[in-house]
Amino acid sequence: MEKITKITPTEFDIMDEIKSRWSPRAFDDVPLSESEVKQLLEAGRWASSSYNQQPWRIIYGLKGDAVYERILSCLIPFNQDWAKNAQALFITAFKKTNKDGEPYYHAMHDLGLFMGNVVIQANHNGIAAHHMGGLDQEKAHQEFDFSEDFEVATAVAFGRYGGAVESLPEGLQEQELEQERSRMSITDFAFNGNFESK
């Protein structure tokens, strides 16, 4: 199937890798190789983090391997319905304490920077990513033997753009085909002065 192109009405000119990125639920059935996934992880590896502590931890599985099925089993049923067609799945987690054993308040921010790098590299490579909060974090924590010093954050589905929309549950097909993306205006979230509640 031809890749769906979304209209992104930006207020300022931005990089194509950001402008063309979106989060499909239908993926092409061409597999992702381990080296392709490792390239995404390499991009993430060079993200900035507080005192270079790199609190991120990633569990990854490729479609067809046992780890993929274990990750899939941790997703809520709604996400399992479509994510089963992804070519790779991640579980993301972060370390809750810093190098001094104190609460690491910036860890989720640092994990976000890691995943930002991953997503932009993926889009540059023609690979789509769809982040999910809909997973059983406690189950994933136990399933993958995380220590108590780590917290599971999200799951992420990866695959090439251009999947068959018909493969999705009927209720998701219309959303997949929406032509225009939307975001809040910059003036709604950024203030050259005091915060304003909008």
Read off the pLDDT band of 197 (50, 70, 90): confident
Is 66 inside any structural domain? Answer: yes
In a domain, 43, yes or no: yes
* CATH assignment of the domain containing 80: 3.40.109.10
pLDDT of residue 98: 96
pLDDT digits (tens, 9 = 90+) for 61-103: 999 999 999 999 999 999 999 999 999 999 999 999 999 999 9
Q: How many domains does the chain have?
A: 1
Q: What is the pLDDT of residues 120-166, one digit of tens each?
A: 999 999 999 999 999 999 999 999 999 999 999 999 999 999 999 98
DSSP string, the chain: -PPP--B---SS---HHHHT----S---SSPPPHHHHHHHHHHHHT---GGG---EEEEEEETTSHHHHHHHHHB-HHHHHHHTT-SEEEEEEEESB-TTSSB-TTHHHHHHHHHHHHHHHHHHTTEEEEEE--B-HHHHHHHTT--TTEEEEEEEEEEES---GGGS-HHHHHHHH--B-----HHHH--SSS----
Distance, first Cα to last Cα, the chain: 41
Residue at 6 is within a domain: no
Residue 49, amino acid: S
In a domain, 17, yes or no: no
Structural domain containing residue 132 = 34-167
Residue 135, in any domain of the structure:
yes
pLDDT at position 1: 54
Structure-token pair, residue 42 = 């390499």
